[in-house]
Structure 1
Amino acid sequence: MKKVAILCTLMFASFSFANESVSTKNSFYTTVTSNNSSQYEVKLKNGDIIRVTVTAEFTSRGRWRVEFVNACGDFINVGFSSDYADGTPEFINDLANVVNANYEC
């Protein structure tokens, strides 16, 4: 029975690691594995409003990651620190400062 279990495991492993020739040129893939993400609308210096996604980092307390598309159309993923709770006016001010600092090309 043990040999059959090992054989089935090896067979399953060989199927799950199948090689495919896939070209992902100019493709962006983003995976959010956390349920602690929030969406905010941030007003930029030039008056435009963009939508950003903010995710808490599990590595340290008070550390956040913000994701957005900048003025050139590039996907930006920036980490920042904030001593304030998610959603407070102070936190949103810290978030707006980070987005404005990294929005230009």
Structure 2
Amino acid sequence: MEKLKEIIKDVINEIEITTNLFYQQKNQEGFSKLEGIIYLLNNITNRVSELELESNYVNIDIIKMNKILTDAMNALENLDTILLSDILNYELKEMFIEYQDSVL
């Protein structure tokens, strides 16, 4: 579980950095950082799957995360970096902040 907590902490930090770049209209740098967020999100889903296979309950709603990511992808397809940033910052990051304390 400690590894999962560490990954969640990393994704929260990366979301803050990335969204700040997009808010400052530094889109190329923001897109580069977005790759790191995707990598970390993949690590989170893999770790949750591993823990569940070991019969450990993890209080992370993967379905909710996927819905938020679908909304983020739609914003990305429309090249709306501000909406993308809002979704990442106010929905995804907030979700992980809530989960951060509940992961044992």
Task: Judge same fold: TM > 0.5, yes or no.
Answer: no
Q: Which has the higher helix share?
A: 2
Which TM-score applies when normalising by structure 2? 0.28
Q: Which has the higher strand share?
A: 1
Larger Rg: 1
- State the structure with bigger RCO (CA 8 A, min sep 6), 1 or 2: 2
